[in-house]
């Protein structure tokens, strides 16, 4: 009697084992074809109480907002630059020639530019070169299809300038840095940081009253005469297009 019961129990366990393997196989096949999506849903539901709270969500949103603000600022600056370039080319008249900057010379501290137009386009040595905002320098040499520009920041460059509102005359001198030095002709000039410097009406090199730069620092204690440092309005390092104004 006992062996018969053991045989029946073994048969029952064997049949149950077969069904277990059958259902396990179906489960694995289902996981294979569903790619485990229901497992992810189950894990998401079970782990929901442990998700980050509102503080971390606010921190993440703050980072996203900051990123969007930076992108908008960059797009606005780029849009402003492109609009300036468009105005440069559209507003030119017969006395102005637009040209693209095709090369800079970093080892010269941006003191020279190469342009894509030359003598064949009516450009000649000594012509004034303007960027968005003001005077950059002058054409030093030309070829039939290119021009080389000597910047106002280059060592040895000297031009006559003045502060129009105060009628103060001075000499703008290139010192090899991104700023130029303004040497006053008077011992007690009434110049202040923020004053705008432009080409002098008495200059024989450039047309009068072309914007040049803004005074940043004034040294009134220097002898024999005070001097100041001037930041050019048109930055040579960030200009793609220029205008050449004929001076002859």
Task: For 55-81, write each residue's pLDDT tens digit.
Answer: 555 655 666 676 677 667 767 766 666
Domain ranges of the chain: 54-91, 96-245
pTM value > 0.75? no
Q: What share of the chain is helix, strand, coil (3-state, %, to 5)?
A: 40, 30, 35
CB-CB contact of 118 with 146 (8 Å)? yes
Which burial class, exposed, middle or buried, applies to 125 when counting CB atoms under 10 A from its CB (0-12, 13-18, 19+)? middle
- pLDDT tens digit string along 118-152? 999 999 999 999 988 889 999 999 999 999 999 99
pLDDT at position 219: 87
Longest dimension (CA), the chain: 132
Instruction: Assign domain 96-245 to its CATH architecture.
Output: Beta Barrel (2.40)
């Amino acid at each position: 009697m006992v062996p018969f019961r053991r045989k029946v129990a073994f048969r029952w366990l064997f049949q149950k084992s077969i069904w277990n393997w059958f259902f396990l196989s179906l489960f694995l096949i289902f996981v294979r074809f569903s790619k485990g999506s229901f497992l992810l849903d189950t894990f998401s539901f079970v782990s929901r109480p442990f998700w980050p709270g509102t503080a971390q969500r606010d921190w993440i949103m703050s980072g996203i907002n900051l990123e969007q603000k930076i992108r908008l600022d960059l797009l606005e600056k780029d849009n402003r630059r492109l609009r300036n370039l468009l105005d440069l080319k559209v507003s030119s008249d017969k006395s102005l020639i637009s040209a693209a900057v095709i090369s800079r010379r970093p080892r010269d501290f941006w003191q020279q530019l190469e342009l894509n137009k030359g003598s064949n386009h009516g450009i000649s040595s000594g012509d004034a070169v303007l960027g968005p905002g003001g005077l950059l320098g002058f054409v030093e040499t030309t070829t039939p299809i290119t021009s080389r520009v000597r910047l106002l920041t280059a060592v040895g460059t000297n031009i006559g300038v003045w502060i129009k509102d105060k009628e103060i005359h001075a000499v703008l001198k290139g010192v090899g840095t991104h700023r130029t030095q303004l040497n006053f002709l008077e011992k007690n000039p009434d110049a202040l940081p923020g004053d705008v410097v432009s080409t002098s009406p008495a200059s024989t090199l450039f047309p009068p009253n072309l914007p040049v730069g803004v005074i940043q620092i004034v040294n009134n204690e220097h002898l024999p005469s005070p001097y100041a440092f001037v930041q050019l309005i048109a930055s040579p390092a960030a200009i793609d297009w220029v205008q050449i104004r004929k001076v002859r």
